[in-house]
Structure 1
């Protein structure tokens, strides 16, 4: 299992490349909300879920599609860690 820093780096790279289209000047702080900053929409949520499932070999269930799990880099990191520990 990757450590927290490796997860954070990988997730930040995904956000930069896929959600921000490579615009490093638009990169958020790890705690900033994707929704509040307009970084993500419903299509973006699906992209995030596909990224998590493909990159970390996990299944994201419908009940887990909530801002507490998916709405910032830090929340994504913690969500992946919780899922991996529960597996």
Structure 2
């Protein structure tokens, strides 16, 4: 399973109560009310554990974390740097 699919499965399971709700790769988690500020922290914790990375506070911005596409690009950048 690819990184994006793992993250999508995590979001569906933890924030959408197991229902896909037509979650697209470019769906904004914040605009759609899928994830709130507490949810962002849960997502970051999951990403750090799942992909063995460390996400700095300054990287916890919507440009990095607000959609599956944004997360995929952010992870590529982080994993390339490590």
Q: TM-score range by the shorter chain?
A: over 0.9
* Structure 2: gaps of 5 or more residues: none
Residue 32 of structure 2 aligns to a residue whose secondary structure is coil
Superposed displacement of residue 23, structure 1: 1.4
Superposed displacement of residue 27, structure 1: 3.9
Please, what TM-score do these two structures have when normalized by structure 1?
Answer: 0.89
- What RMSD over aligned residues (CA atoms) do the two structures have, in Å? 1.1
Counterparts of 2:55 and 2:74, CA distance in 1:
10
- Aligned pair count reads 82
Counterpart selection for 2:51 from 56, 71, 76: 56
Please, what TM-score do these two structures have when normalized by structure 2?
Answer: 0.94
